[in-house]
Amino acid sequence: MVTDTRELLFDRQVYALEAIQKAAYRFIDRMAVNLHVTDTYVRCTVFVDPEVGTPDDVIRDFQKEVLDQHLRLKIASETESIRHLILAHAFSRTGLT
């Protein structure tokens, strides 16, 4: 079995490291990812399992997942105060203090 190895660069001003890590975890069944982090970018060396599809397709899906995870983190951050308010209101009516 030959594993296809590729390198991807993600700009740290655009993508959060946590988003890349989460995407790598979600793709653990299709590829292995080594991360090298610098001040300006995250270099991902990916080892694509050839049994799961073409390397180009897997990598393209991985890039989409990184964007998805990044946007999820951004939305969670932007809505954190609202979620806390809703939870506080919900628990204020339970009688638990």
Chain mean pLDDT for the chain: 90
CA proximity to 64, closest of 12, 13, 10: 10
Q: Report pTM.
A: 0.82
Q: What percent of the chain has pLDDT over 70?
A: 94
Structural domain spans, the chain: 4-92
Looking at residue 94, its pLDDT comes to 67
pLDDT tens, position by position, 56-78: 999 999 999 999 999 999 999 89
Q: What is the CATH number of domain 4-92?
A: 3.30.70.60
Looking at residue 39, its pLDDT comes to 95
pLDDT tens, position by position, 34-44: 999 999 999 99
Interacting residues of 79 by C-beta distance below 8 A, sequence separation 6+: none
